[in-house]
Each structure stands twice: as structure tokens, then as C-alpha cells.
Structure 1
Amino acid sequence: MATLDWSTLTRSQTKSDLYARETYFREGLSDAEEVLGAEALATVLLDTALLMVKPDGLAAGVLPPVLEYLTEHGFTPAAVREFRFQPFHWRELWRYQLTSATLDRLAVNELLLGVGPALFLLLRGGPGHRLPGAVRLSTLKGSATLEAQKPGTLRSLLGQPNRVLSYVHVADEPADLLRELGLLFDASVRRELLESLRGDTLSSRDKDALDAALERFAAPTRSLAPTDALRRVAEAVDRAEPGPAAESARLRLDRMARGERVEWRPFMADLATAGVRPDRWDLAVLGTYFIVYDEPGYPKTLTNPDSEWWTADTQLR
């Protein structure tokens, strides 16, 4: 770590200080140096990016336009894996990014990310660009906040419905890419993914995985509209035995129908007490529309990379 050239991985001093002491990043970096070679690592990472189509993105049928967008901007798949989030993944993935998320948001994201598969894409960004592939793709992705999205960005074109149903995730910088490989995959799979960057074609295994995903998720597999989810959850509550918990759940659903935000974990507790078991997708969708996202007054520790990433005056020690 003492000889690591951080300027090839991140231009954030805060990020370098945090990642230098974190196991996920250090494992990802160690494997990348062994598989790709320490001298070649910076060059390979310059042309590499990472994108994951989240479970909500696959359910919404956005995989085909995501792949089309990537191709239009010079990105090609180097490796493809179907992936399922475990509860700790989301918490660790956003450890430094969240503006002190409410416990309700944590509960909703655990529900949402655990309800179906995601598709992990390791990408070649192609040579000849001033910015690393990860930084360039982070800029092209666009903000998860609808009001901050710029025309032509991926999330804007996909028409994501709200901040939590954001459809895709990307690694913002090469350092994030290495950290996420260390977090999301065990050593054997991580090395397979890194090994794919040594070639220039998609393996038959990965091509089959991509073709299977395209066939399965070529179109929306379910409605993510809040009105549909509200109706189905309300119908499930109406079938429950009368009682205080069922009545409390109905009152919270009425508030949602008026566009109000609710306390999510108490709502889930009401459903459990009343013996109501709605479809998990419907619950996840309702949660994304009707929760308070973050605790106010807590800024992010880490922010998205600056558009002027590749400048001489941002070199790190």
C-alpha cells in the first residue's frame, strides 16, 4: 500500500484515507495486482467500468436499453454474472455514500434488493478516453435524484420513477470498482472476473448468461406502479381477520393513497401481527414511494467524482 499510486484510482483524499484501511478494497486490489500484474493494473483499470442492473431494473425491463446505451457510448461486456444481494451488501456498498439513511430506508432497500436477481456487468470502456471508464460511466449514469438528472444520462432515458427505484448502480471510480469486487464476490469469482479483463472477447459462459438474461428480462415482468401495489396490498389487508393491527395497516395505506409518507417498520409490524403476507415486490414498491429517505442535516462523506477528474492539481499523496 505504501507505493500505491492513488491518483490512478481516485482523486478524493477522503476516499483514499478510508479505503486504505478497509478489507474489501484491499482484497480487491491485492487480487487485481496478482491477476493483472501490478505494473499493468492502472492501464487496465483506465479502460474498465462496472455496472449492475438492480432487481428493480430487471423487473422493469430496462436491460435491453441499458445495453444499447452502453454500446452507443463505447462500453462492451467483459464479464457477466447473475447476482443476488445479501442484507449486508447494501449496507456496506453505501457505507460512505448515504446521508445517514433512516432505518425505514434500510428496511425498504433490504426488501427491494433481496426480492430478485441483479445482473452484474464488468465492462471494457475502450482506449483513447481522458477519463477512466468508471468515472466516465458514473457521469453518463446520471443522478438518482430526479430533479438533478441531466438530459441524455442513462437514468433520465430509462425514466426511473423515484430515487430508490434507480434501476442501475455503477462504481464511480477505479477505487470503487476494486472495493465492490472485494465486497460482492468471494476470491475465486473475483479472480475469474479480473481474469476476463486480460482478454478482448466475452467468454461463451458469459455470453450465455447475458443471452439468458436478455430472454428472461426483455420486457417488464411486473408493474412497479404505486397504484397497482397499493391496490394489491389493500386487498390482502381486507382479507385479514379484523383487529387493531389490520385497522392500523389500513389507515397507513389510506395515508399512502393520499401521497403521504409513513413510518415503514411499524407498517410492516402491523402486517405481520395481522397475519397479512402481501407480495414482497408490492411491499418494496410501496416503500420506495412512501418513506422518508434520509435523516436531514447529514451530508455525504463521499460524493460523486468531479467532472474534471483527470487534472494535474488533484494528485494525491
Structure 2
Amino acid sequence: MSGDLGALLARLTPQPEKVAAYRGDTYVAETVEQLERLGLDPAAFATGHSMLLLKPDAIVARAVHPALKWLGDNGYRVVAAEIVPVNRHLARALWYYAWNIASPERRRLADLLVGISDALVLVVAAAADPLPVPIRLARAKGPTDPRKRRPGELRHLLGRDNYLLNLVHTPDDPADVLRELAIYFPEPLRAEVIAATRSAHGTTSDATVTPPIPPADRAGALAEELYALTPERSFEREAALERILHDLAPLPADTDPTTLLTSALTTGTPVDPWSAIVLGSQVLPMRVGTEAQTLRPVTATDWTEKFG
């Protein structure tokens, strides 16, 4: 890498704590080195692009096509799309600097969720604006807390008013774009994704490359591949509880669902994973407090206060 990584990061996040943490982050270093080697400015790439992760719960909810429409209606253009295998390590890598406030129960449920389906990652761009694309998309996506979501936001549109099963994730700021690009994609596939973004922007000089199908169409086709492998399921608590009770029958009539599910998860008792996720997301604690959070979420206000 050329130059000072700390100086680059200071332009890409309003958080000094994130600059300090990401200076030693291998994922960030990998992406910066690769972009520079390919002749691209990491800062320009990170401010001009973001990513929308459609999580396994979005695949179960059949949320990809509504999300694609929302992106187009709100001025975002898909420039690359890939299926990403998910496992417990990917989840911990993505939320490494914030997930230390997650409850043990939430981590267990998340480990079940990554076994439900692979995920779909969309790389998106948008028209020039004083706010970088990742800041704008994160704000437009809507908050994790269902009580704070508003009409027009992506999570409000997709529904499923649930703290854990929130369907989508985006980077908070441009620094996160650099980090998450390397989490999702190994180096060869990352090179293909970067090439796809250049092709979508019309910046590739290789005249021998056959124009691919439009990235949004590719995203839709990949969604159908995931749908074919992943059953559509209910997000309703009653259906989940009924299945859990069936799996653990016979049980005393006064069995408490929270105690029942916690025992099953901690002992490894076989139950339907999706039903455990749905029920657990509604009856189990999700957080253990905020004082231990390594990095708090970045907001558009944070960005404008720092950079204007």
C-alpha cells in the first residue's frame, strides 16, 4: 500500500476510534492494496459505492425483488451482485467491533440463522451528492430497532418488524465499505466484483469483454437460485412456538417458552432451526448493554459534523 492508511481512513469515517481500529485491520488492508494495484483510488471507490447484504432471513422472506425495486426507486444502481456463503465466522467478522454487546442468546440464534441460507450481496452506486453513498444508504435503510423505522425506509418496506430478523445490512460509512468488501469476497472474486463495477460505470478499457447481463437482472437471477434452495417460512411467533412444542413433546402444560427454548439451545436439543430463530428473536434478550461496545454506529449527522 502506498501512503498512510491512517490518513486515508481519517477521510472515510468521522470516528477517530474507527481509524485507530482499522489501521491494523487485515480486511481493510487487503482491499486498499488490491484497489491501488488495480489503479483505483480507494477513497473514491469507498465513497462512491456501498453494499446491501440480503441476509438469510431476507431469502426466507423473499425480499430480494422488493429490495431491488426500492433501490431503483430511490436512486441507487446495482453495479455488481454475488452470492456469499455465510457461517458463524462471517457474522463475527462483520460485527467484530460492535457485536461484543450481543447477548449469548443472540449469538446462538445468529449461528442458527447462518445455516438457513447463503446470502446475496449487492454493490450499489448512486448519483453524486455531498454525502457518500454508504452514508446515504445506511440512513435510507432504516434502523435495527423496528420502533424507530419510518415509511420510505427499506426495512419499513420489507416489514418483519423484528430486531434480529431485520433482513438487510449495509456498511455505516466508506471505511466500512473497504473492510466489508474483503470479508464478503476472497481476492479473485473481489477482483471480479471490482471489474464488474468498472464495467457498469463504463470505465473498463477492455474491448474484448462481452457485456454481462445487467447487474440488477443478475441479482434477481441469483435470488431465484437461493429461493429454490430455501423454503419460504412464517415469521409469526405462534407458528414458531407450535413447531417447537411439537419438536420437544411431550412437555408439561405450563412450560415457559423462554425457559424451554433456552434449554434447547444450550443443550443442543434438536429443534427446527427456523422456528427457534423466530421464537427466540421475540422472547430472548438481544443485548447485554452498550458500555462495552467497541465502535458505535455512524450516522449521517456524525459525517456532516465532521466533514461538512
What residue is the counterpart of 2:219 in the other structure?
210
What residue is the counterpart of 2:33 in the other structure?
30
What residue is the counterpart of 1:237 in the other structure?
248
What residue is the counterpart of 1:199 in the other structure?
199
Matched residues in 2 for 1:148 and 1:308: separation? 16
CA, structure 1 residues 207+132, in 2 after alignment: closer, same or farther (shift >3 Å)?
closer
Matched residues in 2 for 1:2 and 1:44: separation? 17
Is the contact made by 2:79 and 2:216 (CA closer than 8 Å) also made in structure 1? no
Matched residues in 2 for 1:56 and 1:297: separation? 25
Letter in 1 for 2:183: L
Matched residues in 2 for 1:108 and 1:184: separation? 21
Q: 1:296 aligns with which of 289, 297, 300?
A: 289
Tell me the alpha carbon deviations over residues 262-298 of structure 1, each in whole angstroms, 9 at most, x when there is no partner: 48553224562xxxx3332122222212211111353
1:226 counterpart = 2:237: yes
What residue is the counterpart of 2:204 in the other structure?
none
Alignment of 1:1-317 (within 5 A): 2=4, 4-37=7-40, 40-98=41-99, 100-126=101-127, 128-200=128-200, 203-204=212-213, 209-215=218-224, 217=227, 221-238=232-249, 254-256=255-257, 261-262=258-259, 265-269=262-266, 272=269, 277-296=270-289, 298=291, 300-311=293-304, 314=306
TM-superposed CA distance for 1:91, in Å, is 1.3
TM-superposed CA distance for 1:51, in Å, is 0.4
TM-superposed CA distance for 1:183, in Å, is 1.8
Q: Indicate the SS of the match to 1:30.
A: helix
CA, structure 1 residues 6+271, in 2 after alignment: closer, same or farther (shift >3 Å)?
closer
Mean Cα displacement is larger for which, 71-80 or 202-211? 202-211
TM-superposed CA distance for 1:84, in Å, is 2.1
Tell me the alpha carbon deviations over residues 76-109 of structure 1, each in whole angstroms, 9 at most, x when there is no partner: 1111111221111111211112362122211111
CA, structure 1 residues 285+21, in 2 after alignment: closer, same or farther (shift >3 Å)?
same
Q: Indicate the SS of the match to 2:300.
A: coil
- Kindly tell me the number of residue pairs found equivalent between the two proteins: 293
TM-superposed CA distance for 1:237, in Å, is 1.8
Q: Indicate the SS of the match to 1:52.
A: strand
Q: TM-score, normalised by structure 2?
A: 0.85
Tell me the alpha carbon deviations over residues 117-176 of structure 1, each in whole angstroms, 9 at most, x when there is no partner: 2111011123x2111111100000111111222332111222232100001011111111
Matched residues in 2 for 1:214 and 1:267: separation? 32
For structure 2, which runs of at least 5 residues remain unmatched after alignment? 202-210
Matched residues in 2 for 1:83 and 1:306: separation? 26
Is the contact made by 1:35 and 1:194 (CA closer than 8 Å) also made in structure 2? no
TM-superposed CA distance for 1:112, in Å, is 1.0
Q: Indicate the SS of the match to 1:123.
A: strand
CA, structure 1 residues 100+207, in 2 after alignment: closer, same or farther (shift >3 Å)?
closer
Matched residues in 1 for 2:172 and 2:266: separation? 36
For structure 1, which runs of at least 5 residues remain unmatched after alignment? none
Q: TM-score, normalised by structure 1?
A: 0.83
TM-superposed CA distance for 1:8, in Å, is 3.3
Matched residues in 2 for 1:36 and 1:196: separation? 15
Q: Indicate the SS of the match to 2:256.
A: helix
Letter in 2 for 1:304: P
Amino-acid identity (%): 27
Q: Indicate the SS of the match to 1:308.
A: helix
CA, structure 1 residues 269+303, in 2 after alignment: closer, same or farther (shift >3 Å)?
closer
Is the contact made by 1:28 and 1:181 (CA closer than 8 Å) also made in structure 2? yes
Letter in 2 for 1:148: K
Q: Indicate the SS of the match to 2:79.
A: strand
